[in-house]
Structure 1
Amino acid sequence: MRHDQEHQSIPGMVRSAARRFADSPALVEEGQRLSYWQLKDQMVQAVAAALALGIEPGDRVGLCAPNSVEWIVAALGIQGAGGIVVPLNTRFKTEELSYILRKSGAKALFAAASFLGNDYTAGLKRADPELPALRTTVSLSGKRGQADLTWDEFLGLGADRSGAHEAIDRLTPDHISDVMFTSGTTGHPKGVKLTHGQSLRAYGWMSTEYGFRPSDRFLVIPPFFHCFGYKAGWLASFLHGVTVIPMAVFDAGRALEVIERERVSILLGPPTIFHDLLHHPDRPGRDLSSLRVSMTGGSTIPESLIHAMKKDLSFDIVLSAYGLTESTALVTTTRPGDTEETVARTTGRPIPDVEVRLTDASGQRVPPGRGGEILVRGYNVTQGYWDDPEATAAAIDGDGWLHTGDIGHLDAADNLVIVDRKKEMYIVGGFNAYPAEIEKLLLGCEHIAQVAVIGVPDARMGEVGCAFIVPVPGADPTEEDIVAWAREHMANFKVPRHVRFVDALPRNAGLKVLKNDLRARFEDGGRR
């Protein structure tokens, strides 16, 4: 029986893991070590506390804090009481957080009293003192700040655990477990509704396919407010008895130290993480032989990076995948045994019981090898956006197909190749130019470590490309060098007409490149 078939809910899965893995370590964080049995006990107490706090089935609860043991226990407590977790981006400003809390009708907020200089509760009380549904705030750190309850005070409400297990037992796979708000790159963020069953099924399959096992130790760097850190991270790990090591803020030197000390074997994340690890001065002196499994996605991946991850970071398995929040963040993935070229060039085949279709502008299916918009249908597709039927209808058609807005094609082996976001395409003299494709080509240049391409206005061509480039350490290419290389390796309309050298690409907390920031920088004429 698959793990996802054994469990009705995410808290139910943790109870099962406690029975199966008992005294094995579940969580390790700054000297704090919880066994699976101890994690289950803390979860049950948090469920009882959430019930005492008045959280009822269907209530939404905001959760705004860095990766930590408390984040996980708080989420499990909220869900176990029947509540719906609303993860909040810790890099959001007060106005953005206030919008999501209002939109979701959050009844309570669990937040860090101090993170990156922010006291989220204090900021919200100053900016929006009358959030209509918000009743209680809980500090997830030792400091109270302006929260109503400290973390210990909240847990203290759970002294009577008599109703906790019954509340967990009432959950079903079809209950909503979380509302994940998208990044809001095209306007206000939209809340994606996902269920317990969807997440357990998708990541139960993924973690089994990737070979997760009880002896593994997973350093989780992607933030928990994103499916990469939450569902592909701690949720997938608990299904297999893996030890989870949360990392609040990524620091390459610190990560290398933890990998060596804790014998980390699983590390998933966007390419920038592995680039930074590879180029950190401490890397050659660290014992990284424990590293075993990796998956990277969300950006272009040069084949040279995959080779270096295996050679210099000691990974046995390096995979790539594709998904978006509306699809439980998992649609396709490469498989162990795929070639480095396949992992770099494609995002693999659809996961079981999920369909992928490519269509043209008129909605007609395109033949293999031709590009089209990626449509997805299956159990992983969201029920819709929270309190937004119009946006739901625009994204999911009457036949259940999710229109992703991404452009791709299928190769001869049915691997999905992502060309670009439809909205990021620009047109050079009548030719469609796709930044992701051009970025992948530019990464073949030996002088380029990271690159992001945007379309910018041009009086003659309408639009042309501008490449923002982080050079390889020690390299000092000129704009002319890059353009000359590009002219040798790509069609003329794809060649960037502008080059900007930068020390780092601006990224959000999920480590996606902020292309709007790059557009603003171009308009300002900013250079390194």
Structure 2
Amino acid sequence: MSGMSQANLMGQILKEMAEAAPDAPAYYFYGREISFKEMDDLSDKLAYGFLKEGILRGDRIGIIALNQPEWLAVYFAAAKIGAAVVGLSPRHPAPELLKLVQRSRPRAVVSLKNVGDTDYVELLEQNKSKVKGLEFCYFIGGEGANGCKSLESLMEEEPDQELLAAAYAQVEPEDEIMFAFTSGTTGQPKAAAITHKSQIASARAQTKHVRVTSKDVLMLTSPLSHVGGITIGMASMLLAGGPTILLPVFLPEEVLNQAAEYHPTIIGGFPTTHHMLMAHEGFDKMDVSNIRVIITGGSNAEPDLVERLHRAYPESTIMNLYGLSESSGGALMTPWNCHYTMVGRTVGKPFPGFDVKIVGLDGRELPVNETGEVWLKGDCVVTGYFDMPEETAKTFDQTGWLRTGDMAYKDEEGFIILMGRRTEMYIQEGLNVFPVEVEDILSTHPAVDMVAGIGIPDPVYGEVGRYYVVPNPGSETNEDELRSFCIQSLADYKVPKQIVFRQDLPMTALGKIKKSDLRREFENTGK
């Protein structure tokens, strides 16, 4: 296949790849090589199975699974008949996962039978009546009780191609393809309605920017239930015709093992996953000679992290990516000629065709170097949140702009410098402080492994910054030393009033620091 697919439906892109390069590897999964044609045939059978069950265009299919071929088969099958998947990560505790199922109201759920100690057969069968509209439960690898079928049973028959073609003819680019829950780092997660059009727009722009080709191999460390896995990872590689290494969960040792077998050229991940990989005892033996691009995204890339990435991958280009569930994936990225020290302070510029502006509280666009909210516009922007009209109206305006909730400023060269979430800002000594500024400084201290800051009420100052620090193993420091360290680089009103040492920090299912839990913990205990 010459050039990138220009199809505007995800199922069509897969089919084009299956016809152009039928035997080319699309996915590697623990020694198993899955070609584009195999995935196309598999998803055709499953799409036909769904149709026979009565699942149709506009229905939602929840997926509780890890990064595995079955996840993608469900995703492509749903796309081919105009249904949409709902990404449901097994990393969520059972009660939290059940709430997401109830909130998204899928007509069907495809699930693993169990992960760890969680029995999903029992969870779904005991609570099926509590989920409005849920009719079908299918389990990967075997049947459930009460007539629940195995997923494999839906793929036993050869598909009726006329029936499939009739269903596919009804699918439109504006149809939803996936509902992705926001990460919920500062509040309750919302299900962003991603369409074929918005997902392909984001993936295509990223593929062009990163110059991905069929010769590239991606190490996928982010979950498929999140845009970091499905759009920034899988979809961008599909458009280029390159293979993706599927890891069920992120484990540094498994990344190293799979890298030794499949020789990735692109590795992407969240800052926490990059930290964990480089900290693994076997990382120094990893062959990095094939790796041409390292992508970090999902949360702020601290300067210290980028410095470490540069040392670890000296011949690779380090790129910072900015995207949200609401933008279907990536929307901004640092350019190729960006020095790694700049990557540590900016998320770059918008992809061609996407627009960004910085907006003040009065709704007016701000000039350079003034901090306001990041507004984003382009085909990548989703249609809204599922069944949340008020939240949708607050976040998406009628002219197509997405109010991201992120605070930033634009410098003279057009680079966007993130300052943190709007809800994270606090006022200390009468002046605005964004925790990310302080976190970036504290993270460079040799004794600091991880850090997260929040604003808390104070009877004297109104609000003060409270910073939770996880020390590096074997390191020693104290509050006075870290405060003195901050004084060297920060204005006096930004220096932390409180520093609390902890062994760990609460994390979301995606591996991001969950500041809402820190805030709730303080409110409940005062500690």
- TM-score tier, shorter chain, comes to over 0.9
TM alignment of 1:12-91, pairs within 5 A: 12-91=12-91
Between stretches 330-339 and 412-421, larger displacement belongs to 330-339
- Which residue of 1 is the match for residue 366 of structure 2? 366
Between stretches 323-332 and 165-174, larger displacement belongs to 165-174
Question: For the Cα contact (< 8 Å) 1:94–1:124, is it kept in 2?
Answer: no
Question: For the Cα contact (< 8 Å) 2:183–2:508, is it kept in 1?
Answer: no
Question: For the Cα contact (< 8 Å) 2:114–2:121, is it kept in 1?
Answer: no
- Which residue of 1 is the match for residue 387 of structure 2? 387
Question: For the Cα contact (< 8 Å) 2:438–2:486, is it kept in 1?
Answer: no
Q: Secondary structure at the match of 1:134?
A: coil
* Structure 1 residue 392: Cα displacement: 1.7
Taking the aligned partners of 1:139 and 1:313, their CA distance within structure 2 comes to 41
Distance 1:247 1:370, change over 3 A: same
- Which residue of 2 is the match for residue 472 of structure 1? 472
Question: For the Cα contact (< 8 Å) 1:449–1:471, is it kept in 2?
Answer: yes
- Which residue of 1 is the match for residue 294 of structure 2? 294
- Which residue of 2 is the match for residue 517 of structure 1? 517
Taking the aligned partners of 2:394 and 2:147, their CA distance within structure 1 comes to 39
- Which residue of 2 is the match for residue 241 of structure 1? 241
- Which residue of 2 is the match for residue 356 of structure 1? 356
Which string of whole-angstrom CA distances, capped at 9 and with x for unpartnered residues, describes residues 104-158 of structure 1?
Answer: 3311101111113223342133235343311111112457477711122121255
Q: Secondary structure at the match of 1:274?
A: helix
- Residue 171 of structure 2 aligns to which amino acid in structure 1? L
Taking the aligned partners of 1:135 and 1:238, their CA distance within structure 2 comes to 32
- Which residue of 1 is the match for residue 279 of structure 2? 279
Taking the aligned partners of 1:34 and 1:95, their CA distance within structure 2 comes to 34
Distance 1:145 1:467, change over 3 A: farther
* Structure 1 residue 388: Cα displacement: 2.6
Distance 1:11 1:4, change over 3 A: same
Q: Secondary structure at the match of 1:291?
A: coil
For the pair 1:490 / 2:485, whether they are aligned, the reply is: no
* Structure 1 residue 490: Cα displacement: 0.9
Which string of whole-angstrom CA distances, capped at 9 and with x for unpartnered residues, describes residues 193-225 of structure 1?
Answer: 121122112211201211222122212111111
TM alignment of 1:358-507, pairs within 5 A: 358-507=358-507
* Structure 1 residue 238: Cα displacement: 1.1
Between stretches 312-321 and 28-37, larger displacement belongs to 312-321
Between stretches 134-143 and 179-188, larger displacement belongs to 179-188
- Which residue of 2 is the match for residue 190 of structure 1? 190
Which string of whole-angstrom CA distances, capped at 9 and with x for unpartnered residues, describes residues 316-361 of structure 1?
Answer: 1210121221122332111222111221110111111221111211
Question: For the Cα contact (< 8 Å) 1:457–1:464, is it kept in 2?
Answer: yes
Which string of whole-angstrom CA distances, capped at 9 and with x for unpartnered residues, describes residues 378-410 of structure 1?
Answer: 222222222332222221223322212211100
Between stretches 166-175 and 45-54, larger displacement belongs to 166-175
- Which residue of 2 is the match for residue 181 of structure 1? 181
Taking the aligned partners of 2:162 and 2:114, their CA distance within structure 1 comes to 33
Q: Which runs of 5+ in 1 are unaligned?
A: none
Distance 1:283 1:143, change over 3 A: farther
Taking the aligned partners of 2:369 and 2:165, their CA distance within structure 1 comes to 52
Distance 1:93 1:312, change over 3 A: closer
Taking the aligned partners of 1:419 and 1:184, their CA distance within structure 2 comes to 18
Between stretches 294-303 and 219-228, larger displacement belongs to 294-303
Q: Secondary structure at the match of 1:413?
A: coil
**TM value normalised by structure 2:** 0.93
> Superposition RMSD on alpha carbons, in Å?
2.4
- Residue 255 of structure 1 aligns to which amino acid in structure 2? V
Q: Secondary structure at the match of 1:267?
A: strand
Distance 1:178 1:338, change over 3 A: same
**Overall identity of the aligned pairs, in %:** 28
Question: For the Cα contact (< 8 Å) 2:62–2:88, is it kept in 1?
Answer: yes
Taking the aligned partners of 1:165 and 1:273, their CA distance within structure 2 comes to 41
Between stretches 53-62 and 154-163, larger displacement belongs to 154-163
Taking the aligned partners of 1:422 and 1:470, their CA distance within structure 2 comes to 24
Taking the aligned partners of 2:225 and 2:83, their CA distance within structure 1 comes to 16
Q: Which runs of 5+ in 2 are unaligned?
A: none
Taking the aligned partners of 1:217 and 1:439, their CA distance within structure 2 comes to 33
Question: For the Cα contact (< 8 Å) 1:71–1:140, is it kept in 2?
Answer: no
Q: Secondary structure at the match of 2:406?
A: strand
Distance 1:27 1:163, change over 3 A: same
- Which residue of 2 is the match for residue 232 of structure 1? 232
Which string of whole-angstrom CA distances, capped at 9 and with x for unpartnered residues, describes residues 460-503 of structure 1?
Answer: 22222222223334422222211111122211221122222333
* Structure 1 residue 167: Cα displacement: 2.8
Instruction: Tell me the matched-pair count.
Output: 527
* Structure 1 residue 268: Cα displacement: 0.7
- Residue 47 of structure 2 aligns to which amino acid in structure 1? V
Distance 1:145 1:305, change over 3 A: farther
Distance 1:130 1:469, change over 3 A: closer
- Residue 82 of structure 2 aligns to which amino acid in structure 1? G
Taking the aligned partners of 1:525 and 1:130, their CA distance within structure 2 comes to 33
- Which residue of 2 is the match for residue 346 of structure 1? 346
Q: Secondary structure at the match of 1:106?
A: coil
Which string of whole-angstrom CA distances, capped at 9 and with x for unpartnered residues, describes residues 21-45 of structure 1?
Answer: 2211111112222112212111211
Which string of whole-angstrom CA distances, capped at 9 and with x for unpartnered residues, describes residues 39-75 of structure 1?
Answer: 2111211111111121111111111111111100111
* Structure 1 residue 101: Cα displacement: 3.5
Taking the aligned partners of 1:88 and 1:104, their CA distance within structure 2 comes to 10
* Structure 1 residue 7: Cα displacement: 1.0
Taking the aligned partners of 1:14 and 1:34, their CA distance within structure 2 comes to 13
Question: For the Cα contact (< 8 Å) 2:354–2:378, is it kept in 1?
Answer: yes
- Which residue of 2 is the match for residue 133 of structure 1? 133
Question: For the Cα contact (< 8 Å) 1:112–1:139, is it kept in 2?
Answer: yes
Distance 1:253 1:21, change over 3 A: same
Taking the aligned partners of 1:138 and 1:314, their CA distance within structure 2 comes to 46
TM alignment of 1:155-170, pairs within 5 A: 155-156=155-156, 159-170=159-170
**TM value normalised by structure 1:** 0.93
Taking the aligned partners of 2:281 and 2:95, their CA distance within structure 1 comes to 39
Question: For the Cα contact (< 8 Å) 2:332–2:349, is it kept in 1?
Answer: yes
Question: For the Cα contact (< 8 Å) 1:260–1:288, is it kept in 2?
Answer: no
Which string of whole-angstrom CA distances, capped at 9 and with x for unpartnered residues, describes residues 284-329 of structure 1?
Answer: 2232322221211222323343233233245512101212211223
Distance 1:50 1:168, change over 3 A: same
For the pair 1:255 / 2:255, whether they are aligned, the reply is: yes
Taking the aligned partners of 1:106 and 1:524, their CA distance within structure 2 comes to 34
- Which residue of 2 is the match for residue 219 of structure 1? 219
Question: For the Cα contact (< 8 Å) 1:292–1:314, is it kept in 2?
Answer: no
Taking the aligned partners of 1:158 and 1:146, their CA distance within structure 2 comes to 26
Question: For the Cα contact (< 8 Å) 2:45–2:159, is it kept in 1?
Answer: yes
Question: For the Cα contact (< 8 Å) 1:122–1:147, is it kept in 2?
Answer: no
Question: For the Cα contact (< 8 Å) 1:290–1:314, is it kept in 2?
Answer: no
- Residue 274 of structure 2 aligns to which amino acid in structure 1? F
Q: Secondary structure at the match of 1:347?
A: coil
Question: For the Cα contact (< 8 Å) 2:109–2:137, is it kept in 1?
Answer: yes
Q: Secondary structure at the match of 1:470?
A: strand
Taking the aligned partners of 1:22 and 1:118, their CA distance within structure 2 comes to 38
Distance 1:37 1:398, change over 3 A: closer
Distance 1:314 1:509, change over 3 A: farther
Q: Secondary structure at the match of 1:342?
A: helix
- Which residue of 1 is the match for residue 319 of structure 2? 319
Taking the aligned partners of 1:8 and 1:485, their CA distance within structure 2 comes to 52
